[in-house]
């Protein structure tokens, strides 16, 4: 399942969700053997980790407590020097305007909860492959 990952080094994945069960589900879905997994439970913490670790892929929950929600965090990342990373918004909300807000904030993909782990892996792989192609 990680055949498409064209890199010698394990890509860094940041999982941001206020719910610990969601984080463990996502991390179990991808597995630490393929990705270097990082986690944050809110927007502010996520931004700190992004600066420090510069992850390749960010799975970002939209609705989080605190001053920075998923959309805000996405917008900040996509307008910063870290804009090359893949941001996949992950949310319970499925409304059209949320989808649009995510796109406006520069998200690469948008997945609604409940999601299929298999489908999420495919989305991440496709996204990652595109990024790698664009780089070469």
Partner 1 sequence: MKNTCDNFGEDVPNKLRQRELSTATDLKLKFFLEQSSEVIFTVDLHGLITFVNPAWSLLTGYALNESMGKSIRDFIHPDDVSKCFPLFLGEQNNCFYVKFITKQQQIVLLGASIHVMIEDNVLTKFSSLVDLTGQIRNQEALKKSNERFHLAITVAVDGLWDWNAITQEWYLSPRWKQMLGYNDDELTNELATWTERLHPDEAASVDYALKSALDDVTNDDYQLAHRLKNKAGEWLWVLCHAKIIRDQQGKVERMAGSITDISLLKETEKQLNNRQQELDAIINLSPDGIVTINHGGCVHSVNAMFLTFTGLTAQGLIGKTQAQLLATLKAISLPDCPAEITTGSVFKLLPASIFAHLAPQVNEGVGKNKVVNQLSSSRVLKVNVCELSTDVIHTVMYFQDITQEIEIDRMKYDFLTNAAHELRTPLSSVFGFTELLITRQFDPKTQQDIFANLHHQAQFLVKILNDILELAKIEARLSKEFHLTQYALDAVIKEGIALFTQEHTGCVINYLATAEVPWLFIDAEYIKQALFQVLSNALKFSPEGSMITVDIVGRGEGVYEQVGIAIKDVGVGMTQNDLNHIFERFWRGSNTHNIAGIGIGMALVHEIINFHRGHIEITSEPDVGTEVVLWLNAHAI
Residue ranges binding partner 1 (CB under 8 A): 19, 21-22, 24-26, 28-29, 63, 65-67, 92-93, 95, 113-118
Which of residues 78 and 93 has its CB atom nearest to partner 1 in the complex? 93
Which residue from 38, 73, 43 is spatially nearest to 53, judged by alpha carbons?
Answer: 38
- In the complex, the smallest distance separating the C-beta of residue 27 from partner 1, rounded to whole angstroms, is 11
- In the complex, the smallest distance separating the C-beta of residue 26 from partner 1, rounded to whole angstroms, is 8
DSSP alpha helix (H) spans, the chain:
20-30, 43-53, 70-78, 96-104, 117-135
- In the complex, the smallest distance separating the C-beta of residue 1 from partner 1, rounded to whole angstroms, is 10
Which of residues 10 and 93 has its CB atom nearest to partner 1 in the complex? 93
Q: How far is CA 92 from CA 22, 30, 75, 96, 99, in A?
A: 11, 20, 19, 12, 11
């Amino acid at each position: 399942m990680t055949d498409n990952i064209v890199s010698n080094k394990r890509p860094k994945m940041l999982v941001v969700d206020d719910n610990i069960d969601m984080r463990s589900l996502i991390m179990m879905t991808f597995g630490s053997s393929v990705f270097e997994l990082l986690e944050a439970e809110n927007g502010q913490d996520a931004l700190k980790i992004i600066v420090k670790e510069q992850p390749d892929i960010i799975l970002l929950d939209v609705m989080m407590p605190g001053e920075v929600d998923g959309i805000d965090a996405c917008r900040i990342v996509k307008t910063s020097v870290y804009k090359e990373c893949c941001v996949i918004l992950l949310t319970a909300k499925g409304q059209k305007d949320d989808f649009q807000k995510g796109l406006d904030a520069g998200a690469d993909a948008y997945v609604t909860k409940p999601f299929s782990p298999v489908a999420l892996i495919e989305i991440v792989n496709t996204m990652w492959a595109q990024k790698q192609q664009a780089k070469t």
